[in-house]
Chain A
Amino acid sequence: MSAEVGVDVRHVSKEFGHVRALHDVTLQVPRGEIFGLLGPNGSGKSTLIRILCGLLKPTSGEATVDGLDVETQGEEVRSRIGYVSQAFSLYRDLTVDENLDFFSSIYRLKGRERAERKQWAIDLTHIAPYRDRLAGVLSGGWKQRLALAAALMHRPSVLFLDEPTAGIDPVARRELWDLLFGLAAEGVTMFVTTHYMDEAERCGSVAYLYLAQLIVGGHPQALKQLPEVTPPGMRRVEAECSEGVASLMASARTLPYVRASTIFGTSLHLLVDESVSNQKIDDDLESFGIGSVVVRDIEPTLEDVFVRLTEIRAAELEASS
């Protein structure tokens, strides 16, 4: 395995009894990259993270983290990774300081190094004012910072974050991501699951899991250019309207050349026949008498990409069964 690869997953499958949680998943994450794993709830994201952290054994296939096999070199892997889980999973009845002391001790940090690393993690996450608070009384954002601090003291080379920003406010979310970028710059590989498309856009590469299978992977920009995202003979436009976007959508769907429509704020995103001009669309939409409309060309969003690819996959599965 190349030392340049932070996480290497090859043909990994996992079954729980008759339930298939992961099927033949293969992906690579270069060292120092932020990798985003997306997919609906229950698609297998957490299962994959748990396999990579050594909490679960894959039914077949193999995976390495930082060049080490997760099954045969589990203990070595565990000392090189950090894990921030979906729900806050540090000790609520211990103070911030006590939590950090505990984890630094578990990770075999000793004496001066322990003190230095603890201070480093406290400075990095700016959690110093809360050192004597019980972890349980911290707000969501500070809890995540504490979890991050606890997962970083032992200088992990790969950091796993399972929906780290679920349920925290936008400012805390932004700050957490700034922190992650800083760590990635230092060469830490990040493996992040998320539901937020804006977070996915920030990743060096993303992959999308659907029904236990990886259906697409790559740089966000490259994914938007995929031909199947915008079907042949179709193009995407945005129609910004002055009022009544909801009733406009209902009306827009009656137009013969509109394949799909979605609301984004006060705009509609439409998938339309390539042959129809923006002027024609504009006129048709305004003819419903709901309000004034401005139509312009747009790129698909990452959400468009995943929604479209999921539809294609679902149709394929339908056809094959």
Chain B
Amino acid sequence: MMNGFTAVFRKELTQMLRDRTTVMFALAVPVFELILFGVIDMNAKNIPTVVFDQSRTQASRRLVEQFGATSFLKVVGYVPSRQELQHAIVAGDAQVAIEIPPDYARNLTAGRKADVLVLIDGSDSSIANQALAAANGVVLQNGVRDLMERTGRGSQSEAHPIMMFNPDMRSANLLIPGLVAILLTFSGTILSAFAIVKERERGTLEQLMVTPVSPLAVVLGKILPYLGLAYMTLLLVLLLMRFLFRVPFNGSVVLLLALSVVYVLALLSFGLLISSRAGSQMEAMQQAMGIMLPSVLLSGYIIPLNSLPLPLQMISQILPATHFIKIARGVIIRGASFGDLWQPVLALLAISTVLIAASARAFKKTVS
């Protein structure tokens, strides 16, 4: 049943360690991406803003100051006309433009409606959203304060939001636990697919199949070194996350590492499934991309699951990454326990089982 396992395992390990590209691909690329994603901040700050102030009064200057006082907007210049205001946005010099009408101060003192025009560059939706929120915030604050000054009464109700788990809204805390799942998708799927396809491409699989080696021994002997490598990647990324980016680890490390095994097995099985269909490494790469792209886009890693249309939400449910991201964020950031996470855990187990069974079947077909 397992004849030749030790031989295949030792051979594969030797080949894997000798192949610098593979080891680099598995370890260096994830570290590089982790650093890239860890340093950037998805929350837009200092959005360049231009002002066309026709009022030129103390009131209008105060308004501009208030806009600039938020950390989101930064006034980079004043323009003398509306054309130039629009031009600044079209040319990309500014992403927010504020036009204050000549009668702004007059209307304000007269207690009339004082309109301010805010132009926002909508070509980058995340920046646009934040700029809109900042602009609305400033204007609302002004409105409330003016109202209070005039009526001499304090505000009736005020919301006191408390941000749990990620009080300073750091992108790293949100992104890195998800990134762990995405990075493993790359190394797990591609490496295991390559391991088998390479042997087929070079004819060595055929040579192997005319020996008394058992197919199961070939699969396990070939996959286990990559399971080890993928696990090393995971540990490395987790260490960097905790100690370089100081993302707090609120849950049980053991629980995450245990559930990672299930996730990595699902990925390796998928790689194996690809390898049973792909004739060349190129084909395997293309097919692996077929799961990687949805894993990045539909797993809730970048785009929140709730904002996906229903058919895409259904696809996201069958991606192992979706469930592992829930688990990783839960364990790392929210300190969730096994009991809290039973839903994604169960889903991940089900997907893994199906993938392992399918890949075993496919492989049996390839070698016989």
A and B associate in one complex: yes
Name A residues whose Cβ lies closer than 8 Å to a Cβ of B.
53-55, 75, 78-79, 81, 83, 85, 87-94, 98, 102-103, 105-108
Q: Which residue of B lies closest to A84 (CB)?
A: B207
Contacts of A78 in B (CB 8 A): 210-212
- Between B6, B14, B206, B207, the greatest number of chain A beta carbons within 10 A of the residue's beta carbon is seen for B207
Which among B19, B206, B212 is the interface contact of A55 at CB below 8 angstroms? B206
Whether the pair B207, A105 counts as a contact (CB closer than 8 A) is: no
A281–chain B nearest beta-carbon distance, Å: 50
Q: Which 7 A-B pairs have the closest CB atoms?
A: A89-B203, A105-B7, A89-B207, A83-B210, A79-B212, A53-B210, A106-B211
Whether the pair B203, A85 counts as a contact (CB closer than 8 A) is: yes
Contacts of A102 in B (CB 8 A): 7, 10-11
B130–chain A nearest beta-carbon distance, Å: 51
B213–chain A nearest beta-carbon distance, Å: 5
Whether the pair B3, A108 counts as a contact (CB closer than 8 A) is: yes
Contacts of A88 in B (CB 8 A): 203
Whether the pair A106, B212 counts as a contact (CB closer than 8 A) is: yes
Contacts of B202 in A (CB 8 A): 89, 92
Contacts of B208 in A (CB 8 A): 106
Whether the pair B15, A107 counts as a contact (CB closer than 8 A) is: no
Give Cα A105 to B211, complex, Å.
11
Whether the pair B207, A108 counts as a contact (CB closer than 8 A) is: no
Q: Interface digits, B196-223 against A, CB 8 Å rule (1 contact, 0 not)?
A: 0000001110111111110000000000
B225–chain A nearest beta-carbon distance, Å: 14
Whether the pair B212, A75 counts as a contact (CB closer than 8 A) is: yes
Whether the pair B210, A81 counts as a contact (CB closer than 8 A) is: yes
A161–chain B nearest beta-carbon distance, Å: 12
Whether the pair A91, B206 counts as a contact (CB closer than 8 A) is: no
- Between A75, A88, A93, A106, the greatest number of chain B beta carbons within 10 A of the residue's beta carbon is seen for A106
Q: Can you report 6 residue pairs joining A to B where beta carbons are below 8 Å apart?
A: A79-B212, A83-B207, A89-B206, A92-B202, A98-B14, A102-B7
B18 contacts A by Cβ under 8 Å:
yes
Say yes or no: A106-B213 contact (C-beta < 8 A), given A90-B204, A92-B202. Answer: yes
B251 contacts A by Cβ under 8 Å:
no
Whether the pair B207, A54 counts as a contact (CB closer than 8 A) is: no
Q: Which residue of B lies closest to A103 (CB)?
A: B211
Whether the pair A85, B207 counts as a contact (CB closer than 8 A) is: yes
Q: Which residue of A lies closest to B368 (CB)?
A: A57
Contacts of A90 in B (CB 8 A): 204, 207
Q: Which residue of A lies closest to B203 (CB)?
A: A89
Whether the pair A85, B206 counts as a contact (CB closer than 8 A) is: yes
B263–chain A nearest beta-carbon distance, Å: 29
Give Cα A158 to B210, complex, Å.
12
Say yes or no: A106-B4 contact (C-beta < 8 A), given A91-B11, A94-B15, A98-B11. Answer: yes
State the majority secondary structure of interface residues on B.
helix
Interface residues on B, range: 20 to 34
Give Cα A321 to B330, complex, Å.
73
Which among B4, B14, B19, B204 is the interface contact of A105 at CB below 8 angstroms? B4
- Between B10, B11, B15, B209, the greatest number of chain A beta carbons within 10 A of the residue's beta carbon is seen for B11
Contacts of B4 in A (CB 8 A): 105-106
Whether the pair B7, A93 counts as a contact (CB closer than 8 A) is: no
Q: Which residue of B lies closest to A104 (CB)?
A: B7
Say yes or no: A91-B211 contact (C-beta < 8 A), given A102-B7, A106-B7. Answer: no
Q: Which residue of B lies closest to A53 (CB)?
A: B210
Beta-carbon contacts under 8 Å, B340-359 to A: none
Beta-carbon contacts under 8 Å, B11-66 to A: 11, 14-15, 18-19
Give Cα A68 to B6, complex, Å.
28
Which among B8, B11, B203, B212 is the interface contact of A94 at CB below 8 angstroms? B11
B202–chain A nearest beta-carbon distance, Å: 7
Q: Which residue of B lies closest to A50 (CB)?
A: B206
Whether the pair A55, B210 counts as a contact (CB closer than 8 A) is: yes
Say yes or no: A91-B15 contact (C-beta < 8 A), given A81-B210, A85-B207, A106-B212. Answer: yes
Q: Which residue of B lies closest to A99 (CB)?
A: B11
A237–chain B nearest beta-carbon distance, Å: 45
B5–chain A nearest beta-carbon distance, Å: 10
Give Cα A13 to B349, complex, Å.
45
- Between A88, A90, A91, A93, the greatest number of chain B beta carbons within 10 A of the residue's beta carbon is seen for A91
Contacts of B7 in A (CB 8 A): 102, 105-106
Give Cα A79 to B170, complex, Å.
61
Say yes or no: A108-B15 contact (C-beta < 8 A), given A55-B206, A87-B203, A90-B207. Answer: no
Contacts of A53 in B (CB 8 A): 210
A167–chain B nearest beta-carbon distance, Å: 14
Whether the pair A94, B3 counts as a contact (CB closer than 8 A) is: no
Q: A55-B206, A94-B11, A106-B211 are in contact. List 17 more A-B contacts (CB 8 A).
A: A54-B209, A55-B209, A79-B211, A85-B206, A87-B203, A88-B203, A89-B204, A89-B206, A89-B207, A91-B11, A91-B204, A92-B202, A94-B15, A98-B14, A102-B11, A106-B208, A107-B212
Contacts of A81 in B (CB 8 A): 210
Give Cα A140 to B212, complex, Å.
27
Which among B10, B15, B212 is the interface contact of A93 at CB below 8 angstroms? B15
Whether the pair A94, B14 counts as a contact (CB closer than 8 A) is: yes
Give Cα A108 to B15, complex, Å.
21
Give Cα A102 to B204, complex, Å.
12
A57–chain B nearest beta-carbon distance, Å: 8
A231–chain B nearest beta-carbon distance, Å: 43
Q: Which residue of A lies closest to B208 (CB)?
A: A106
Give Cα A55 to B366, complex, Å.
10
B216–chain A nearest beta-carbon distance, Å: 13
Contacts of B213 in A (CB 8 A): 106
Give Cα A91 to B201, complex, Å.
12
